[in-house]
Every structure is written in C-alpha cells, then in structure tokens.
Structure 1
Amino acid sequence: MIHPEHIVVIGAGAAGLMAARELSLAGRKVTVLEARDRCGGRIHPLPFAEFGYPAEAGAEFVHGEAPVTRSLLRESGLSLLPIQGRQWRFEDGKFSQEKSQDTYAADLHQALQELKDDLTVAEFLRRHFAGPKYDRLRHSIERMVEGYDAADPERASTLALRDEWMDGGRSTQARIAGGYGALVEFLTAECRNNGVAIHLGSAASAVEADNGRGVVRCANGDAHACDAVVLTVPLALLQGIALPATERERAKAAAHIGFGNVIKILLRFETRWWVERRMDLADLTFLISGARIPVWWTQHPADHPVLTGWFGGPKTEAMAGLGEPELIEAGISSLAEIFGFEPRQLIRKLVAARAINWAHDPLARGAYSYATPLTRAAQAVLSRNDGSAIFFSGEALYRGRDMGTVEAALASGLQTARNLIG
C-alpha cells in the first residue's frame, strides 16, 4: 500500500490521538472512532470538584526519560512536577524510611548479569534462588513484579525487567501539572484543529480490508470507508473486533504479550490526618506495606488531603467480586491497620472516595501490558505489515524499557503514523 490518503484510527487513547495528530500534520484525512464518550482511554481524569485537583483514575506518573511525552509537554506549554519527599515502609508494625535491604542483592545482580536466555521471573527465581534463605529476596521481587509492573511472575520476562531491578526501581518519576488530562486535551485540540474527525460513542465491531482498501463497521451501524486502519485498542479487546483472516491470524500473537490489572483507590479526607498522627510524615510520598491494599501515595509537595491506594497484578483477581463500595472499604481497612485506627474513625474523616478496578472496565479489561519471554517475537508479528491496510499500534507494541506507560503508547502511535506516511 502506498501513501494512504484517508486513515481510520480505532481508539482515542494516547496512541490513537498521537497517530491521528501525526497523520493529520502530514496532510492525511483522518477519522478517529472511540467507543467511550470521552478521549483518553486509560488516561481518565476525575472531576476537579471531587478531589480538589485533577485526580487521575488511570495513568498518573511520567516514568523515566519519556522523550515523546516531554516533547509534547514543551509544545503544549505544560510542565512536569518532579516527585519530591520521602518513601516510607510499614513492616512488622513499624514505620521506617530505610530501603528494604536484602543480604543477597549482590547475588541477584550477578545472576541477572550472567543471564543469557530469557526466563519467566518465577522460573528464574526457582533456578537461582530456591531455598528458605532466599525467602525475603523472592518475596521482594515477586511483590515488585506484581505491584509495579502489574505482571504475573509466572509469565513476566526476566530480561525485560532486568534494568529496572539493577537500578533498584529508581527510575525517575514526575507528574504533569494539571494531570494527563491536560495532555489529552492538547492532543485532541491539535487533532481537531488539523481537521481530524473524532466520533465518540463509536465502537468498532468489524474491519474489512481488500485490495489496499478498508471499511470499519461500528456497533451503531455506521460504516467508514478508508485506505488504511490503525487499531490501537487494548489487547484484551482485539478478539471482540471481527478482522480479515490474515489479520486475525496476526492478532493471535497478542496472547504472548502480558496484560495486567490494577485496582486504584482514591480517598479524600477533611485533613492530612497522617501528618497529625506522625509529624515526620509531612513529606510522605510513597508508603509501602503488607496490607491488603499495599501501596499508598500522597500528592506531596501539594498538600491535598488525599491518599491514593494501589494494588496490581494477578492477586487483584481475589477482589474480582467486589464492587466500588467494597473496594473503598478495603482501602479504609488497610489504612486503619497501618496507622492503628478503627476503620470507622477514618470513615468519619472521609470527604470523597473512588475505586477503579480496571479489569471491570469493559473498554479496557485491564490496566497495561508487560513483556513475557515471547513478547518481542509477538510484537514483531503484530508490527509487520505486508501490504495490508491494517496496522496495529499501542503501548503493548512498544519495545523500549518502560512498556505499559503513556510514553510507550505515544511513541508507538507516532511510529505507526510515520510508517504509514513512509
């Protein structure tokens, strides 16, 4: 296929908007179809009035160098707010600022450096760190893989996570002033200013392609003829879209890319009671614990009286039957356990609360992707285009270090557009 003039982009998340913007800047006619009633996908800002700032139900942090994200921020006049303050741990009934040091950290680094053939994390630990003396090390690694990467240790690639472990998970993090929603607004405005037609409430149900032409059919009965289609939906939704036989076969490769879940709980209180409880927590950023909802963070250095809880990975399946009120209750109970309150004491301080189990979102069915030992080969299959009118794009196809991030989605959308313009 040479120089398609009209491209339909399925999905108005970060990858879809980025692809649409780049294609429209190159003078192409672009139509974006989005099943939701909003743009952004797994970027989901909550109403300002609810939490007193543009809180994030989905993506919140900018990870690592993120060159595409930072370039967009410069263009849009948005700024980054580096994460400041201190991380605390709550273990064995005590608060500590100390990093959890493991006696065998040097052994871990050596085993990682010597690893040539990829293994799942679980298999790597079984081969190199079996036995009770490594219990603490195994638990620490499994908790990071499940929590930070939302990944299953029985599926996650050790080589893909090696750099993250070698630097102790110290990849720089920041937030966007005004939140990711401000970046989505910028991209959406750019698209519309360039003539992109964005159709909300338009769920793609089938894609037909023949002789370098395509037609996208929507559940609402609409049909959009085009020269090329860019599919940016989350991996879990691919099977719900009817595709031509060749592309359906290619899409099967997505089974070899991990897709994890996250439960996120936002609690707004009358005051920052944790500082009243312990003055040394005035600059608390992250709090790591063994509670049911294990990770919490503040908005420091902003003094919003909000705590955000985070629970990721396959263990979130144990909460699959819980609705939003029960998840909020689990968050309150976890904080009460950590700080030595009765849950009802915290409930009396509560002003607003939201809980989002991304597996329950029918247009996401999970949070973000992670690499398995077979992912690089799967990405190559999905990215290959032998003259087809259908292109796959999104954070799951990104081959850099911070897979599963907004940066990954933006970079993939940009690369797909450039391949189409080619």
Structure 2
Amino acid sequence: MSAQKEIIIVGAGAAGLIAAKELSAQYKVTVLEARPQAGGRTTTHYPAPGIHIETGAEFVHGELPVTLSLLKEAGITYHPINGEMYLAENGELKQEEAWIEDWDKLLDHMSKAPESTTMQQLLDQYYPADKYATLRGHVQGYVEGYDLAPLDKVSVKYLYDEWTLEQGTNYRIDQGYSSLINYLGKGIHLIPNQTVQSIAWEPGKVLIKTQDQAYTAHQVLITVPINILQNESIQFSPALPAYTAAAKQIGWGTVIKFNLLFKQAFWKRDVGFILSDEAVPVWWTQSEDSLLLTGWLGGPKAEKTQGDLLDKALGALAKIFNVPDIADLLEQGYVHDWSAEQAIHGGYSYGMPFSEEAKSVLTTPVAGTIFFAGEALYSGDSPGTVEAALHNGREIANKIKSLP
C-alpha cells in the first residue's frame, strides 16, 4: 500500500476550507493561513448577545446550490431578506422603478458589444457626457459600488451577464457566515499566522517557506486572493510567468464596510436598500426590528477615501435621512476597511475583457503539482461571492482527486 499523498493548501478562506474538506479522505491535508484565524473575507463579529455583525461577506445571493446545500448539511438556518430598494436624490427617497432611464436600451447596446469592450468605451460611444450625465452617473455608481470596478477596466460582457441574471430570493445566515466557516473547518489541520513567501517546486514535490517555517508536500493548492498573485507576493521557483500574467487580467476591487448601531430607528421600516451619491453611497437595513444600518463604499472611491471614515458615514446618513444630530443617536460604530486587511487588501474580483481566458490558464494544473482556486477563478452566475469561492474550491479539489 502506497503512502498517503500530502497536499498543502495555502489560504483558509471558503475556497481553501471546502477544498480541504473534499480532499481530507484521500490526502494528508495541511492548511497554511497568514491570518490568526480561518475565514478570509467571511468574518462575523458578535458584539453582544443576540447581535452579530458581518464585517465581510453578508448575503447568500439567490438559490445558490453549494452554499445552501452546505448550510442544510450543517444544520445552519437562514432567512430571506425583505425590504424595498430606494434611490436617495435631492433629499427624497424614490422607489426602484425611477432609477435609470433608457435601461433596456443600455442593455441592448451591452448585449451587442464586442467581448473586448470596457464599460467606459460603451458609454463614450452611445452616451456622451454632455447629454447623458445622469445616466452615466448612475451606471458609474452601480458599477463602482457593487462590482468594485472602474469603468475603464470592467468588461461590458461581465456586467451584462450579471445585470440580466434573474437572481431570485436573497438570504442571510442567522448566525452569520462564520458559522459556515466553523463547520467547514472542523477536523482540518490548520496552521495560522503562516505567510507563504516562496514555493520551490518540481513535479510531485513542493518546498514552501513562510516567514519562519518550511513545509514539504507532494502538491500545493493556492487559494489566496487574486491580488496576492498579481503582486507576486509568493515567489515561485521555477517562476510561473504565464500564471502571473493571467492573474493581472482579472480585476480586483476594494471596499469599506460600515456597521452602525443606533439607539432608535429614524428610517421607514420598509426600507431594504438605499443608493445615493453621498460619500458613503450604499446603505441597507437588517431585520425590521434591528437598529443596525450597514454602509458600503466600494471601488475606486474606497481606495481614495481618507480621514475619519465614521464621520463620513454619519455625514452621509444625516443628508440621506435629513437627521442633522445623527451622531447623538449612534450607539456603536464599526468600520472595516478591507484594503488594510492583512493578507487580503481588498474586497473581491471583477471581470475584465480577457478574464475568462486568464481563468482558463490559472485553473490549469502546473505539472500536476501546483493548483490555484478561489472566487476570482470561478466562471458562472455568482461572481465575487462566497458561492464562487465554494464552487471553485470544490471543483479544483475534484480535479486534484481525479489525477493519477
């Protein structure tokens, strides 16, 4: 009987943990994590009994097969999200229907655009700034806010596929995403506080060095955020220039998330989401009886924002709801700038014109020895989500298991 193969997984986010779970029956699995705990961009904070705050991923975006099946398998409960969507404009909250004029025509132009087209190119071609300033502003706010993407980099095809997808019901996990992370991490050999700096390899053998340790295995699966590969924070020997170049063809955006707990509600109870053009433009509520408002500042504006972030958030809410003394109503404020997070430095990926070709490169094994996985390498209907990470992590794990 041959000795059990050893595989090291770099990164204990959703992709790394589900891969470890899938591989553990067949391999000796070790997971190296740069941060003090597992979870990556899924982190739940429990400030008081009965209250939990998602500083990272929060929603289950529709009937997502991997996420929902894991929640059911783990016995973790979840609930649908209610509430109306509003646009804050000129001191008024407008219902969703009034958002973007010519929406259908915009989608028609997007559907016919060449695959190499960016959103900036399409807007410049069909919607000149002097005539369509409002439409361009709304599109920019949506693309930067939700996709974390600058208009001159994001793929029109990527946005079209996302915007025309029927998402269905959105959910929240009752005890937060960390409950799912804890389930996936059960029984996994995890070594925290290990930042991988270099990987020397030959077919069937890897030597991995961190800031203070060295590890050997037959194979390695790398599940770090895509910007870690873009920045060449892990040195490969021999080098993998085609893989580094491919990583740079996938977009990476950042986000600042605000969770503000108030002493009393000053918003209508039917409010679900609010879009605005304030310094912190996107806000949403929790359950009807919750006193928590969550703010979201994504994309290029998040990268440029400086100064007191909590003050900016309160200022935005004061204008949106016309509540000048809003600071007096604040019970507790939590600000999470993901660009400053160790070993992450951002939010999630977005599609650029040649991202799909790049993903094909990165999901091709290196001599059956080095593998890559993560939300940025997912191709499907749920990009930039925990589902993307789970789906791709499982997919690559199955690819590893199928090798001789």
Q: TM-score range by the shorter chain?
A: over 0.9
Instruction: Give the direction of change, closer, same or farther, for the CA distance of 1:410–1:205 in structure 2 (3 Å limit).
Output: same
Match for residue 41 of structure 2?
A: 42
Match for residue 258 of structure 1?
A: 251
Match for residue 328 of structure 1?
A: 310
Say whether 1:340 aligns with 2:333: no
Match for residue 278 of structure 1?
A: none
* Aligned-residue CA RMSD (Å): 1.9
- Tell me which of 227, 233, 240 is aligned to 2:224: 233
Q: Which consecutive unaligned segments of at least 5 residues does structure 1 have?
A: 276-280
Contact 2:254 2:338 (C-alpha < 8 Å) held by counterparts: yes
Instruction: Give the direction of change, closer, same or farther, for the CA distance of 1:3–1:257 in structure 2 (3 Å limit).
Output: farther
Match for residue 119 of structure 1?
A: 117
* Equivalent position SS for 2:353: coil
Structure 1 or 2: more helix by fraction: 1
Match for residue 85 of structure 2?
A: 87
* Equivalent position SS for 2:147: coil
What is the CA distance between 1:171 and its match in structure 2? 5.3
Q: Which consecutive unaligned segments of at least 5 residues does structure 2 have?
A: none
Q: Residue type of the partner of 1:396?
A: A
Deviation sequence 1:269-297 (CA, Å, 0-9, x none): 1122x14xxxxx11221111121101111
User: Partners of 1:416 and 1:83 in 2: how far apart?
Assistant: 31
- Tell me which of 272, 296, 309 is aligned to 1:310: 296
Instruction: Give the direction of change, closer, same or farther, for the CA distance of 1:98–1:226 in structure 2 (3 Å limit).
Output: closer
Q: Residue type of the partner of 1:186?
A: Y
Equivalences for residues 172-187 of structure 1 within 5 A: 172-187=169-184
- Tell me which of 279, 283, 304 is aligned to 2:270: 283
Deviation sequence 1:68-126 (CA, Å, 0-9, x none): 11110110111221111212221111122242344322321321232343311111111
Give me the identity figure in percent.
37
Name the TM-score, length of structure 1 as normaliser. Answer: 0.90
User: Partners of 2:3 and 2:105 in 1: how far apart?
Assistant: 53
Equivalences for residues 15-414 of structure 1 within 5 A: 15-24=15-24, 26-49=25-48, 52-166=50-164, 172-189=169-186, 192=187, 196-220=188-212, 222-238=213-229, 239-272=232-265, 274-275=266-267, 281-301=268-288, 303-319=289-305, 321-322=306-307, 326-342=308-324, 345-414=325-394
What is the CA distance between 1:133 and its match in structure 2? 3.2
Q: Residue type of the partner of 1:21?
A: K
What is the CA distance between 1:248 and its match in structure 2? 4.5
User: Partners of 1:120 and 1:268 in 2: how far apart?
Assistant: 39
Instruction: Give the direction of change, closer, same or farther, for the CA distance of 1:386–1:170 in structure 2 (3 Å limit).
Output: closer
Name the TM-score, length of structure 2 as normaliser. Answer: 0.94
User: Partners of 1:4 and 1:256 in 2: how far apart?
Assistant: 36
Deviation sequence 1:41-93 (CA, Å, 0-9, x none): 111111232x8522110000111332111110110111221111212221111
Deviation sequence 1:141-165 (CA, Å, 0-9, x none): 2111101111111100110110333
Give 4+ residue runs of structure 1 displaced > 6 Å after superposition: none
User: Partners of 2:4 and 2:248 in 1: how far apart?
Assistant: 29
| 35-44 or 3-12, which deviates more | 3-12
Q: Residue type of the partner of 2:185?
A: T
Instruction: Give the direction of change, closer, same or farther, for the CA distance of 1:386–1:261 in structure 2 (3 Å limit).
Output: closer
What is the number of residues matched between the two proteins?
399
What is the CA distance between 1:183 and its match in structure 2? 0.4
User: Partners of 1:120 and 1:332 in 2: how far apart?
Assistant: 34
User: Partners of 1:98 and 1:11 in 2: how far apart?
Assistant: 39
Contact 2:115 2:353 (C-alpha < 8 Å) held by counterparts: no
What is the CA distance between 1:28 and its match in structure 2? 1.1
